[in-house]
Amino acid sequence: MNGSLTPEETTSPPASTLPSLFSKMRRFFKTSASGVPLELNTEPQPVKSAILVDWSNGPFLLTIGKTALEFHPDSPNTEGWGDELREWLVHGGPSFYSKLCGFLRVSLNESLVFGRLDEAQSAIFEYSKSVSQRHIEVTNYNGNLTIKPLDPDRLCTISKLTENGPRDSIHRQ
| pLDDT single digits (tens) 112-128 | 999 999 999 998 898 99
Query: What DSSP designation does 110 have?
Result: -
Question: Tell me, what's the pLDDT at 17?
Answer: 47
- Domain boundaries of the chain, sorted by first residue: 35-162
117-164: per-residue pLDDT in tens? 999 999 889 899 999 999 999 999 988 999 999 998 998 999 999 865
89-117: per-residue pLDDT in tens? 887 766 555 555 678 888 888 999 999 99
Separation CA 51–CA 40 (nearest Å): 11
Question: Tell me, what's the pLDDT at 89?
Answer: 82
pLDDT band at residue 88 using 50, 70 and 90 as cut-offs: confident
Decide which of 2.40.50, 2.40.10, 2.60.200, 2.30.30 is the CATH code for 35-162. 2.60.200
Distances (CA, A) of 88 to 2, 5, 7, 127, 167: 54, 47, 47, 20, 16
Strand 156-160 to 60-64 pairing = antiparallel
Question: Tell me, what's the pLDDT at 103?
Answer: 80
pLDDT band at residue 170 using 50, 70 and 90 as cut-offs: very low
Q: Which residues are CB-neighbours of 62 under 8 A, at least 6 positions away?
A: 47, 68, 69, 70, 71, 136, 147, 156, 157, 158
2-57: per-residue pLDDT in tens? 555 555 554 544 555 455 666 555 555 554 557 889 889 999 999 999 999 998 88
Separation CA 164–CA 94 (nearest Å): 12
Separation CA 117–CA 122 (nearest Å): 8
Question: Tell me, what's the pLDDT at 5?
Answer: 55
> Would you say the pTM of this structure is higher than 0.75?
no
Question: Tell me, what's the pLDDT at 86?
Answer: 81
Separation CA 86–CA 56 (nearest Å): 11
Separation CA 56–CA 47 (nearest Å): 19
Question: Tell me, what's the pLDDT at 79?
Answer: 58
Q: How far apart are the first and last CA of the chain?
A: 72
DSSP of 51-71: EEE-GGG--EEEEETTEEEEE
